[in-house]
Chain A
Amino acid sequence: MSGEIAEAFARAKARGEGALVAYAMAGDPDLARSVDVFAACVEGGADILEIGVAFSDPIADGPVIQAASERALKAGATLRRVLDEVVPAVRERCPQTPLVVMTYVNVVMALGEERYAKLARERGVAGTILPDLPPEESASIRAAFDKEGLALIPLCAPTTSPARAETIAKDARGFVYCVSVAGVTGMRSELPANLSERLELVRRFSPVPVVAGFGISTAEQAGVVGAHADGVVVGSAIVRAAQADGPAAARQVCAELKRGLKR
């Protein structure tokens, strides 16, 4: 239920904070240890968890997440196993935190869109992000998700025209994911100057919260962006920290980002 997602944003807001959506790759370095990483993110203050399900050909991802996908695939992290093993385990350790799956459309199609929607909801997934599924191609998946109450979370890009951004925002479920830079996932030292205006535009039309992601890795960046959004998504910085120094490092990155998100 996307109600869960709305509540998580509301809780963060009530505390005077922007929400932190923390991304990590299920199955990196293996299924069990990735559960520890997700739990550590929540200990560090993450409000929503984004569970990456690896795809062999991740065209929207930069080098850090791409390498994580390769490790996860080697560890056997199929969508089915993530739903059966990782999601319930994370759910148990972090019962308050909404879970969102991020993967590619082929992975969902292979399981079957209706079957996926049903299984995901049964296991406790609240929403799904498919970065290679633009609105023009999303009708049938969206219908399958709506039927189960699973939110299809749309993306909006810096290249998206205002008119298109309006359509995307109006139809959104869960939250709108505004890609902050024209590029793949990954950390960046600078974010585009017009990002705040874009976020405000999308927020005007969106019935659901709006977050910014791609390129954000520091508390300072989270603070700047978070001032114009309901939250931020951070992936590569967490994935890299977890890979180098384990769950504790992921917790620390999240705690640091949360500091930046205090209003």
Chain B
Amino acid sequence: MDTETAPGRFGRYGGRYVPETLVPAHLELEQAYAEARKDPAFDEQVSQVLREYVGRETPLTPARRLTELWGGAEVWLKREDLAHTGAHKINNTIGQVLLARRMGKKRIIAETGAGQHGVATATACALFGMPCEVFMGAVDVERQSLNVFRMKALGAKVTPVESGSRTLKDAMNEAMRTWVAQVEDTYYVIGSAAGPHPYPTIVRDFQSVIGREVRTQSLVAFGKLPDAIIACIGGGSNAIGILHPFIHDKDVRLVGVEAGGHGLSSGQHGASLTLGTEGVLHGSRSLVLQDENGQIIEAHSISAGLDYPGVGPELAHLAKTGRLEVRTATDDEALAAFYRVSRTEGILPALESSHAFARAEDLARELGKGKHLVINCSGRGDKDVATIAARGIPAAIGQEGA
């Protein structure tokens, strides 16, 4: 199944809904990217940096104690938490910053929610000596202070955004507004597989390194492709990155987990695939959380990286056509999964990834023994420890995991 029906279209979704001022920049980017993709030297340059600097390939780790605990499918973890800067985000920023350099751009801007994409962009900019400004919702600046420090230490300027819900969606608005004013020499690094064409394609391609590695690694590790792969979904970059190389493998179940927040009926969640309706946000047509008047509803999640009212258009298409199974995990379920994984495997997963782990438990049982399940551990939880510690360590989990 080919998802791209026309350039930048994934079924009904995708497209490029941007101010006219930005259209030429998108056309330029589309062309530059098409040329870069045809150039084996560019591909080799990206691969080399990923190898020598990011630490790829990341391992596919057997989770023996989780397998035993859950009593179902054999569980394997794709360890994006071991990539430099601690999450999958770096795969994309290395690629895009190299593309920006190739295009002769002079400065980089980005938006960030959890701060992971901001850190990854700041890192790539430091590595290649480019000035970098990161827009971040004021609320996120507060709850992700560690990542704010990291970005500043890396030499990036962090600009807090005070408009709207003061979270990721507003940071993205502000980055677009800034880009409109500085489009000649500035490159905008979008952090997820969302936004106007060609971003969803570019981000998906750079992140697909995750899934390509899983293909070869699973053949070596257990002699076949996985029976199911599960990943969390914010904008969807880690999900499309691990899932895309398997779209044509009908026997591989593809599962995405959205932020259930306080529960789907509470109205406070980030479940745009599950409860969103068709709309246009941040330059692309997809499924978005909106009211009946077309105003975007603020998303909620305990994890800043899933706190986004939209989702990448390709995932919307895969979900609508049934290729992607979509589930949700609440804040509490993600927290419980965080402790469970920490204590059974010695891995502190990011709160985003903890959502995938929360539903992976059910999925492992559903699949049953003899099957193989791969979980995308999209990032490490160090950035989240202040948020998690503020809630107090639940005594019950302290007993069980021991």
Residues of A within 8 A of B (CB): 54-62, 66-67, 70, 73, 78-80, 104-111, 131-134, 136-137, 154-161, 164, 168, 179, 181-184
Contacts and interface: CB of A to CB of B under 8 A. Distances in A.
Contacts of B15: 136-137
27 contacts: A55-B294, A56-B295, A57-B169, A60-B19, A62-B177, A67-B163, A78-B293, A105-B17, A105-B280, A108-B294, A109-B279, A109-B294, A110-B290, A110-B293, A111-B293, A131-B20, A155-B20, A157-B24, A159-B22, A159-B25, A159-B184, A181-B181, A182-B180, A182-B181, A182-B183, A183-B21, A183-B180
Nearest to A59: B176
Nearest to B170: A57
B20 A157 contact: yes
Given A106-B279, A109-B279, A159 B163 contact: no
B169 A59 contact: no
Interface string B368-392: 0000000000000000000000000
Nearest to A130: B17
Contacts of A66: 163
A67 B162 CA distance: 11
A184 B16 contact: no
B173 interface: yes
B400 interface: no
B20 to A, nearest CB: 4
A56 B164 contact: yes
A134 B23 contact: yes
Given A73-B295, A155-B19, A184-B177, A106 B290 contact: yes
A183 B183 CA distance: 9
Interface of B: 15-25, 163-164, 169-170, 173, 176-177, 180-184, 278-283, 288, 290, 292-296
3 nearest interchain CB pairs? Answer: A110-B294, A183-B181, A157-B21
Contacts of A136: 15-16, 23
A184 B24 contact: no
A79 B181 contact: no
A132 B281 CA distance: 10
Contacts of B288: 106
Nearest to A105: B280
B177 A160 contact: no
Given A57-B282, A61-B177, A182-B21, 15 more contacts: A57-B169, A58-B173, A59-B177, A60-B19, A107-B294, A109-B294, A110-B292, A111-B294, A131-B19, A136-B23, A137-B15, A160-B20, A161-B24, A168-B20, A184-B180
A261 to B, nearest CB: 24
Nearest to A63: B163
Nearest to A81: B293
Nearest to A178: B20
A159 B295 contact: no
